[in-house]
Structure 1
Amino acid sequence: MIVAVASSFVLLLSCFGNTDAAACGQRSYDPTFQSCCNGVINSKGSNEACCGTTPYNSTFQICCNDVLSSKGSNEACCGTTPYNSTFQICCNEVLSFKGSNGSCCGTTPYNSTFQICCNGVLSSKGSNGSCCGTTPYNSTGHICCNEVLSSKGSNGSCCGTTPYNSTFDICCNGVVSFKGSDGACCGTKLYNPTLQICCNDVLRYKGSNEACCGTKLYYPSFHICCNGVISSKGSN
């Protein structure tokens, strides 16, 4: 505690004696002639930037992940390596000749006009603009359901790996059924809510019964349901 107070007092005195002084960690320095790089004071010279704890001149050098290199015509970094993005491309820290490539597929550069990258796998593009897993496809004629590719036809929705037309069919927990006049699911079954009621995935005919108690039906007017047990309401 005493050492910390003493250090702060010395820093205060140093700064008080020099109106241009600034703090660099627990020490004072003159920004006109010195640089502070992550708590380390160095002579400034023509340097105006820091690379880790080392000052440097960004006109002649480049800092890539705290590694200093001569700049030359390089203006970008690939990991710790400087490069010229006009002629090279960096894909996941792997440098390659750029050519006509402007995109990356993993560590491989490619031209997205002629190729497509699907989950790290490069393929010829052709008319394909979408991916189904690692397979490219044309979404006009095909549909991808959970990485399973199928002909599209009139289908525009997926039920698990099965394509279906939601105008005519319905998907109930992975099972496709003809919709008809029914419009609701009870587990994997289809039902008409006007005539039936679904109690915990068990279908019951509704009749005058209007509520579920677990998987059973009861009359709320005359009975009470507590934790799946039906009891007479009485005067309660």
Structure 2
Amino acid sequence: MEVYTSTACVTILCILATFSAQGITDTGSHSNTGSSGPMESSPQLRCGNLDYFSSESSCCNGNLTHGLSQLVADCCESVAYNPLNKICCNGSVITRTSAQMSCYKSKDSELSSPTGPTTPELKCGSETYDPKKKMCCSGKLYKASALNKCCGADIYTPFDDHVLCCNGILHINVSKNSECVAGVVYTPENTTCNLSARPRLDEHCCGGKIFNPRTHICCNGHSHSKKNGNFCCGSDVYDHHKEFMKCCSGHLKHTHHKERAECCGNLLLNKTNQICCSSSTHAIRYDTKPNHHCCGHYYYNTSLWSCCAEHLKPTPSPNSSHAGDGLKPLMDLIPDICNKTVFFGKVESVALGTFKRHIVLKVVNVVKDPWLNVSLDHCSSPALEIGMTYLWEENSNANAYKPLSVSFDLISDIHMYFTVCKHKCQKGG
């Protein structure tokens, strides 16, 4: 099998052609955010008079709680809390004594007599709602209907010819038969960039303006000179050779640490007193606590829960194995990954054994026998989806493999990987 290392790398064009043939293509604007799909950076929100990001803070009734992501928090009146390890009873946050703990009606008995599980309620921002009656669009509640769909925090009906949802932004009063292509709204009257005047043929659009791709780069609708860098991080451009710059899921971070900084979603991680728990959908930063471990993007108390394949069970087991390092966006692994023996493998099928998960991989760009059988420890390994492609590491001495990256579908990620690592690469067999 051919793998990609500091001494054995496949030509970039060959790799990109392989991914294109398999249908793995760019799905958005031509930008490299360091993450794609559900792990994209969270938008800036408003809590009272303060701005915040849901990846690092929570808003409950206008009160902002720092250090606990809204993605894993519930509200107890105006206080945010982690429902895995705590419970809200009569407006007070109490530490759980068991996973099944719930509140009694009387305040005196709720602290001493935990009961069986209660029916979970869905949250939309700080409000609970019934999904049969309401639907939640990015923290806003609307009347539920089979015809309605979310577009960011707005709601629309797809049958309306004059409304178009494009990259989470709802465009109203657009012309009939308008289309959303790579984040740009194209109309029959004006086929390029939504500009008032029709530009010349073969001109490229970037955020409603014309740009020259030979001299400039377009990052989420913002044009930048290539003199400032050749890679996008959200709407910014940066030079990956600069030591103290790090792209964390679409957010460009300036670091001042001697050691290379580590990303946790769109945040920087302080490895002294913080831990990053990640899954295929989220990466959440937590303050470290004793007897707590990661299970996917959740941080749980081992006396209340056990974890297997990123699934929590309210049955703590003293002999249960804890998950290793979680999967990271491909760009967060660079440049450390350049010196490892890695390959891109697509999960074709999965079978569960007694303690192992047996996986059939199709290795990208291997012509002779691309099929590879891999066995992972079931509970301590991250959950993988059939049909998705991941970056894998090979330990040739132990004949062992492990997944490193979250699944991806952006050619720009692959391009950056080979561009950054190419100075250490040569073609090998």
**Category of TM-score, reference length = shorter chain:** 0.3 to 0.5
More strand by share: 1
User: TM-score of the superposition, structure 2-length normalised?
Assistant: 0.21
Q: TM-score, normalised by structure 1?
A: 0.35
Which gives a bigger RCO, structure 1 or 2 (Cα 8 Å, sep 6+)? 2
Larger Rg: 1
